[in-house]
Amino acid sequence: MGITFSIIFYSALAGLSTILGIVPVIMGEKWVMRYSHYVNSFAAGLI
């Protein structure tokens, strides 16, 4: 049961983060271009 919960939980978390990342792109390109360097820096730090 533990491994099944982990799989479902992390899959849902990945899907939610994808949706949250797409929403700003759809809502306003100007906002995305203004703050994209912060997102890129954060992503590089995670890697």
For 1-19, give the secondary structure using H, E and C: CHHHHHHHHHHHHHHHHHH
Domain membership of residue 9 as a residue range: 2-46
Q: What is d(CA 47, CA 44) in angstroms, rounded to the nearest whole number?
A: 5
Does residue 1 have a pLDDT over 70?
A: no
Average pLDDT over residues 12-20: 92
Q: Is the pLDDT of residue 5 over 70?
A: yes
Whole-model pTM: value is: 0.52
User: Residue 6: its pLDDT value, please?
Assistant: 92
CB atoms within 10 A of CB 24: 14
Q: How confident is the model at residue 25, as a pLDDT?
A: 79
Mean pLDDT across the chain, nearest whole number? 86
State how far the Cα of 40 lies from the Cα of 21, in Å rounded to an integer: 12
pLDDT tens digits for range 19-38: 988 887 787 778 778 888 88
Question: What is the number of domains present in the chain?
Answer: 1
